Structure 1
Amino acid sequence: MDSGLPVIFFTAICGSLVASIRNSLWHKLSIFNDSISDLWLLVGDFNALLSSEDRQGGLNRRSGISNQFVSCFASAALSELVFRGPKFTWKRGSLYQRLDRAFYYGPWSLKFPEADVLRLPWIHSNHRPQLVRLQSWSPPTIVGFANDLKEWNGKVFGNVFHFKKQLLARIEGIQRVLENRTSSHLMELECQLRRELDVILYREELIWFQKSRSEWIQWDDKNSSYFHQRTIKRRKCNRIIVLKDEEGNRLEEQGTLKKLAIDFFSKLYLDDDIKNSCYKLRGLFPTLSDDCLKGLDSLFLDKKIKVALFEMKPWKALGPNGLHAIFFKNPSRG
């Protein structure tokens, strides 16, 4: 192919409930296998068992193994993709069976060495959906994840305040029309827009909640103006408006404050004179014991890292990666 990607023949399987029809399918697959020289992927409900381990529970004690299916599997030189998740893919009452599979033929280990099958939960069927992943997922870097979040926020999540303004304008326009005439279509549209507005307002609450970092506010408090005021108040408390220089002069101009802060911290860690009268630190701290020094030199254990992480407040200041601590403590809520 021009793209350089390998050719893959894909076959979706739905095994019949009738044994004779299934046996015909196994025979046709064996014949078709002789004509394939490229990669071949077979996924679906084979409705047959390869071994006694593919069945558990149930009242009927028969093995359910299909000898024709086993013969087809061996003669066609098929291999099964590694699966992630529960072992059994079908259930009825107390009977569990492994009917859904994913087989491959050809040099898959060279083309897709990390390919696997993810078995998803039962929802509307007694068969588990199967997700074939040609390349296994690996956790992204923090920087890459942050960039992906920014792109997702702009393209998928969207600008909450823009959507809110747009929905309010549409609802207002519909209500003006309904004052003069009755329209069932417009009434239904207004209800739909109100539901969409509820979702947008909930997102707005979350935005202000994260910015305010108020831990004692209940999650179901529907007062975005409060969160807004808390955020503004916090910003005012954290804002530096006056500093004194070395001569005791009060400085208020923002440019001068910025330069004064930069100069102060630049000199703070460059001055090697331990006799500096402003920072007489020698002898003011207790001496560390040998055990403490040994502990400082020890390796970071996963258990200690977890304890330190879970001691952090969930909505405190963002870390250097731009994420709250709750993201690592509970990703589903972060």
Structure 2
Amino acid sequence: AEGTRGGLLTAWNSSLFDCNQEWKGAFTLTVLLKRKIDGATFMISNVYGPTDVTLKANFFQELRSIHSVSSGIWTLLGDFNVLLSVDDKNGDTAHVADILKFREVVHDLHLVDLPILNKAFTWTNGRGVPTLERLDRAFISTNWLLAFPRSTLRALPRLRSDHTPLVLTAFTFIPSANLFRFESFWLRHPAVFDVVSTAWNSTTSGLAPVNQFASKLKSIQTALRNWSVGLSSRLQRQASLCLLWIDWLDNAEERRSLTNLERALRPMLKVRYEELCLQEEIKWKQRSRVQWLKIFPPQGHLQEDFTAAEWAGKGTRT
């Protein structure tokens, strides 16, 4: 990386995968992951292509070199900084020579270009009449397609970057628990203090101090349980609505200039979404430290799933 530019980050869930090998290139970071449950291996190449046209040939050769050592089940994804088609750009004429060379590489390596289900472009220059391009994408090998035939690629709304984050997904399974616990993220809700105060002061007097204290704690637990019913779902719905509106504004910007009201609304939505993400992060960070969180092995119809998003190859833009 050069400062905040050009960095690559690949991460994985160490409880599910081991990293057997890694290769660092000038434009790529490749890891060979082994799934602990069954020993299956997956090669993931995280990409940040050069913007300098004089380096394109080196970049394409590096992609060919990775293919020569690929394990078969392989995905290659990130910011390629090159178009695959003239339709990948609005407005000005694209560099056809680079497009043809890139298409030749994709053809020679037998890669499948996954379509983005909900976006046409992944980068904007952010101007009033924006230039839009699809620079970010995900390719999969035919063996990956056979192993994960239902692989999908979706775009998330742009929040801090001029690039659109992409999520390549096969399957996801997250176990849930039924025990009552105080969630740390509740402290970011002012209403929780009123709930606790009311419950603490509502217990009857006349009990022995120890029994009164236990009664107060039980009252608080009951009040918090009732107050928190459906809270996570409501917050998730709020987050989804924020994303929908941000996504709608992004799509609208592809067709026309945004109004002043729409331009003012988008940063407000992003601030609210980041707060909701922070609460979600606090929740899962707390759960990652306690003993009651367990990773369940597949049993019967519960098939443990593999999510390509585990590699978190967002280091190119987020």
TM-score by length of 1: 0.44
Higher relative contact order (CA 8 A, sep 6+): 2
What is the TM-score of this pair, normalised by structure 2?
0.46
